[in-house]
Amino acid sequence: MMDKERVVITGMGAVTPFGVGIAPFAKALQNGESGIRLLRAFDTADYPVKGGGEVPGDLPAVAGLADHAPRYLHYAALAAKEAWKSAGLLTEEPLAEEAVAHTGFVYGEPPCPPERIGVLLGTSRGAVRELEMLCDARQAGRTLSPELLAALFPAFGHCPLGSGIARLLGAAGPVGTISAACASGTVAIGEAAAWIRSGRCDLVVAGGAEAPFTPTSFAGVCSSKAMSERWDDPAAACRPFDRDRDGYVMGEGAGVVVLESLASAKRRGAAVLAEIAGYAQTADASHITVPSGEGMRVAIRSALSEAGLSPADLDYINAHGTSTPLNDRWETWAIRAALGPHADRVPVSSTKSMTGHLLGAAGAVEAIACLLALQDQFLPPTINYRTPDPDCNLDVVPNTARRAALHHVMSQSLGFGGHNAALVLSLR
């Protein structure tokens, strides 16, 4: 494969239930900490579900982002800014207004012509928080200021996510927002890599963002009975692959990576975090949820094939691992069916046990967990694992992180609507 066709990751940024930035997320993964707690966004007295993976504290301002920007866009902007800096592209201070007007870049000089820079981000819920705010205000008969309406009006669609980050970074290449349910972040990264491989871009900012905690939206998910209703110990509510799991725990945040062609990274002397060696997306078109693991099995095998790897080469899987009874059972089946006898030696953990399920941002944040695992050569654990389930008979890295020699790892996602996606990340 020619250098210009290889795709590498040169930057990463995150907003998670542990706070803003990669550092608190990396620390939590290594220490097996939980970011799940009782909700503060609204009163849950009338809800059977009491908690989630909320982003703690006040959000720092982002230069160039409107004060009333949708919260999920704010998360994405913070993660994108960190990723841009991680890739060696961020100046110490935002550029002056006249410089921005000239270049289009709020943060730093373009590493290549702006039309060679793309943005592709994923979300499941979009600006549901802002939409609910506007509906509540309208129902209450409150007068909305023109300024607030102007700021929030684009939130009715998903378009502000990709275009908002493109405006901050001055990207003038292809820009888009993907909504593939809980696989959105993984699909965005995989498809962004394809933009580079096809020659459309030299660099793409990709990932996912989600801010789903609103009363009406939360009530709707509660009614589905898909979330855990065990809240005597919030930190232990999410227990993937455990026999006593009873549902997922909702989370929020963002994960963003900077992808480049290997040639671009070499040209500017950028440090390479990992290579996107393989990607695959499949659909379980016959069912809105997963009636079997066949689609995921095919995605795993296809991603390994694109990477030129066999099951014997795989060192770790960051599973979707939602803590729902059906997902974890069928995902185990898919992994065993795809890897054959090698499934007995490949560690498979779910970092959702610590973060909760970040929905459209989950795949991007979990890809970053894989990058951190490669970087520090460790296996993130599945915490809250107490009682083995014979239907989930994998090495789930129970409760405690451990050292490991990692070269090829996989991050995989499933989503409502039958979405399946898998990414293979490799050290060069």
Q: Which two tokens stand for residue 298?
A: 């095919």
**Hey, which residues does 274 pair with through a beta bridge?**
9
Alpha-carbon gap, residue 181 to 188, rounded angstroms: 11
Contacts of 62 (CB under 8 A, 6+ apart): 74, 77, 78, 81, 168
Assess contact for 328 and 396: CB atoms under 8 A.
Answer: no
Dihedrals phi, psi of 220, to nearest 5 degrees: -60, -45
Rg of the chain over Cα atoms, rounded to whole angstroms, equals 20
Say which DSSP state 291 is in: S
Contacts of 97 (CB under 8 A, 6+ apart): none
Residues labelled catalytic: 182, 320, 357
At 206, is the secondary structure helix, strand, or coil?
strand
Q: Which two tokens stand for residue 304?
A: 């390994």
User: How far separated are the first and last CA of the chain, in Å rounded?
Assistant: 13
Alpha-carbon gap, residue 377 to 334, rounded angstroms: 26
Q: Which two tokens stand for residue 253?
A: 């945040």
Alpha-carbon gap, residue 209 to 185, rounded angstroms: 8
At 31, is the secondary structure helix, strand, or coil?
helix
Assess contact for 168 and 62: CB atoms under 8 A.
Answer: yes
Assess contact for 10 and 273: CB atoms under 8 A.
Answer: yes
Alpha-carbon gap, residue 362 to 187, rounded angstroms: 11
Side-chain-side CA neighbours of 117 within 13 Å: the count stands at 22
**Hey, which residues does 248 pair with through a beta bridge?**
227
* Size of the chain in residues: 428
